[in-house]
Structure 1
């Protein structure tokens, strides 16, 4: 099972208009099995676009799932809350889950999350939606994992 990681990098970029060099910081999200794999995956993804960069941070994030819609540029963090009963004690407990949704705006993110939660057996609410600084999200592709495992078995 993979975890979601937020990786922040800093690099130098030349301004095409006046030739000046600017320092840029960007955040990316990806899922991986470990911190090492998260860093290695990001390096493999970015090597043709940003050959030289400094890794500022790599942190595990508390994200349940990511909903990607390539038609839009921005990512929103949506917090979903619901009440769950503890089967042993019978007490009610509030549970919060965070999702990342690629959407056109706050309203679009809300509607996409609402659509996903339709038919849920628990009563839920969306207490907050916020725009993130994440530039891009790279989900773990199961086919690549299976290919890698198959190559290891064959070797």
Structure 2
């Protein structure tokens, strides 16, 4: 696996909203866009994030277009570009849901995120929404295992 360096990003306040500098450039290749997203999530959450290319190996050869993501001591791999982006969104959602909360309020926030994900899985007709909810639950499960 080859580590993909994350770019330097900052969040700049503009009135009541904020923007990320530099902004995402849609002309970048997938690995560069994913590195930018990982850098933004790291900037917003304060979590250490590392991104790797070629995380899936078949017959001893790395397959291109697959990624591995480390968040602190946690590692998840064999993501396609879109699944990796979704995973990073789940990391951000989990971090935001628990930011500044005591243990019992953090548990309540996580329970609410789980409830909303399960609702999406059970009633949505949109495959991407269901996939994102399933991936978010997987992130929550992974962090729950590591903290117990």
TM over 0.5: no
Q: Which has the larger radius of gyration?
A: 1
Bigger proportion of residues as strand: 1
TM-score by length of 1: 0.24
TM-score normalised by structure 2 residue count: 0.25
More helix by proportion, 1 or 2? Answer: 2
